[in-house]
């Protein structure tokens, strides 16, 4: 009996648990170097194409001829989708880049798809219990809880009526769930969000124009401020609220915004100079 157990032990030791070879031990390190190489190759190809016009179906793939270096994080914005080691384009437009490694497609799309964290302008359409339904221009309405306002409690409810304009950001936004809006930031502060727009004018524009107006130090906004002083709220869903001193100035600014969208800088300056001369 003892000899039988000894033989079984020797058999399992020799054949059931073979020792790890040096080549197998080097596999994780090799995979790490390969992953670093693939990421750097993708970034190189994307940065080469910044400013070019792309079409749906274009694909960025890693190039085996590139020299690997340090792996960096890649962030794909609107119009781009990453699948494994490839980046696919599914919108037509211009490839844009923001340091360090954020890429997106700048297009003239008017249909808005909600995305988490984006700030939008919504219109309250109804109230269902403790939740408001808000039209944000997407395929379905978003929900807004009465507790999603600064200082709101069960006793101190915000004064929100049907038809009010609301500026907020998405806390939940994906294709399998109803979008959810909030009017507070991560610290519980309003930070400019909430109900607004007792006066003024709300109109729609392309998503590309909305992004241009929201860029820091936008030249278009600076040029318009030299014509008339005004207040504005811009949502990434392609809605703009604007208010000037008079109704006439507000309408002129709205028409200028729509006209200047596809103009060059020289054409825009010429048009705004004519408006300034006529207004004085």
- Candidate ranges 16-20, 148-152, 261-265; pick with highest mean pLDDT: 148-152
> Which structural domains are found in the chain, ordered by start?
30-106 (2.40.50), 119-196 (2.40.50.140), 201-279 (3.30.1370.10)
Query: Is the pLDDT reported for residue 84 higher than 70?
Result: yes
Task: Give pTM, 2 decimals.
Answer: 0.71
Q: What is the pLDDT of residue 195?
A: 92
Query: Is the pLDDT reported for residue 209 higher than 70?
Result: yes
Beta carbons of 45 and 60 less than 8 angstroms apart: yes
pLDDT, one tens digit per residue, over 161-179 is: 999 999 999 998 887 888 9
> Of the given ranges (69-78, 79-88, 230-239), which has the lowest mean pLDDT?
69-78
Q: Considering only CA atoms, which of 193, 216, 211 is closest in space to residue 121?
A: 193
Beta strands per DSSP E along the chain: 53-54, 59-60, 75-76, 80-83, 86-89, 93-98, 102-106, 119-128, 131-135, 142-145, 165-174, 177-182, 194-196, 201-204, 230-235, 239-244
Query: Is the pLDDT reported for residue 56 higher than 60?
Result: yes
């Amino acid at each position: 009996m003892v000899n039988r157990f000894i033989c079984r032990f020797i058999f399992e030791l020799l054949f059931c648990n073979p020792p790890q070879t040096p080549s197998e031990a080097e596999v994780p390190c090799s995979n790490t170097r390969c992953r670093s190489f693939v990421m750097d190759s993708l970034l190189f190809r994307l940065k080469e194409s910044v400013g070019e016009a792309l079409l749906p179906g274009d694909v960025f793939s890693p190039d085996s001829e590139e020299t690997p270096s340090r792996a960096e994080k890649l962030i794909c914005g609107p119009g781009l989708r990453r699948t494994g080691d490839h980046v696919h384009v599914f919108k037509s437009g211009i490839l844009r880049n923001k340091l360090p490694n954020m890429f997106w497609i700048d297009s003239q799309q008017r249909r808005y798809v909600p995305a988490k964290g984006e700030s939008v302008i919504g219109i309250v359409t109804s109230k269902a219990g403790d939740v408001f339904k808000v039209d944000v221009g997407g395929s379905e309405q978003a929900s807004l809880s009465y507790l999603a306002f600064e200082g709101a409690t069960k006793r101190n409810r915000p004064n929100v009526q049907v038809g009010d304009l609301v500026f907020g950001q998405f806390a939940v936004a994906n294709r399998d769930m109803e979008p959810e809006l909030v009017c507070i930031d991560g610290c519980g502060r309003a930070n400019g969000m909430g109900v607004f727009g007792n006066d003024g004018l709300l109109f729609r524009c392309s998503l590309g124009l909305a992004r241009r107006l929201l860029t820091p130090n936008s030249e278009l906004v600076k040029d318009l401020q030299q014509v008339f002083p005004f207040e504005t709220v811009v949502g990434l869903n392609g809605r703009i609220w604007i208010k000037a001193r008079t109704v006439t100035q507000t309408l002129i600014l709205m028409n200028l915004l729509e006209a200047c969208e596809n103009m060059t800088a020289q054409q825009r300056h010429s048009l705004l100079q004519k408006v300034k001369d006529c207004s004085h």
